[in-house]
Amino acid sequence: MFPPGVPISKRLFDLLATLILLILLSPLLLVVALLVLMVHGRPVLFRQRRGGYRGAVFEVYKFRTMTDARDAAGNLLPDSERLTPLGKFLRATSLDELPELINVLKGEMSLVGPRPLFAHYLERYSPEQARRHDVLPGITGWAQVNGRNAISWDEKFRLDVWYVDNQSFWLDIKILLLTLIKVFQRDGISQPGHATAEEFMGNRQ
C-alpha cells in the first residue's frame, strides 16, 4: 500500500485521487467492459508483465484492444492485424489504460511517472536509462505529454529521467492537466507502421 522510498504525500494523493476517479468513472468503466466483452470476448482485462519501481516486475491491467486471431499454424497475427476498430478507439482515447487505477491502488503504480515498459526490457537499459525506475511508474508521465509514442526511445528515456530529477507535486498536477488536453487531441498514439511503438532493442554500454 505504501511502497518504501515513495514520498507519503505522493502516495496519499494517488490513493485519494484514484478512489475519487473510480467512483466517478464507474459507469464508464462498466460500459467499456461490456463493449470489450461483446467485441473481443473474455477476458475483458489484459494483463502483462512490466518493469516497475526499482526494477520489480508486476502485472499491469488494461482493457483488451486486440483479438486472439491466429494464422494457419496457430501463431498470433501481428498486433496491427489483431487491433480492432474498438481497440483503436480505446487506445486513441486512452480508455484502455483506466484499469491501471487498480495498479495504483495496489501501490505498483502512481498516477504520474514513467510509463511501465515490458519486463524483458529491463536488461536492455543503460545505467542512465534504468534511473527511470527510481520512481513508481505512472499511468501518464512527462514523456507522454511530450510526444508519447511519436518520439524516439532515446528521447522518451531522457524525458523520464528528467522527471525523476525534477519531480514535484505541482509538476504532477501540470502533467495530469496536460494529459487531459493530449487525450482530446489524440496526439502521438503510435509510431508510423506500428500499432503502438517499435520494440526497444537496447543500447546498454
- H or E, element range at 138: strand 138-140
Which of 70-84, 91-105, 191-205 has the highest average model confidence (pLDDT)? Answer: 91-105
Instruction: Give this prediction's pTM.
Output: 0.87
Query: CA 121, 126, 132 angle in degrees (round to 5)?
Result: 70
Please give the pLDDT value at position 193: 54
pLDDT > 70? residue 192: no
Confidence of residue 196 (pLDDT cuts 50, 70, 90): low
Average pLDDT value over all residues in the chain? 88
pLDDT digits (tens, 9 = 90+) for 139-177: 999 999 998 777 889 999 999 999 999 999 999 999 999
Q: Which residue has the higher pLDDT, 197 or 12?
A: 12
Measured N-to-C along each axis, helices 169-185 and 8-40 cross at an angle, to the nearest 10 degrees, of 20
Mean pLDDT of 30-35: 96
pLDDT digits (tens, 9 = 90+) for 114-144: 999 999 999 999 999 999 999 999 999 999 9
pLDDT > 70? residue 186: no
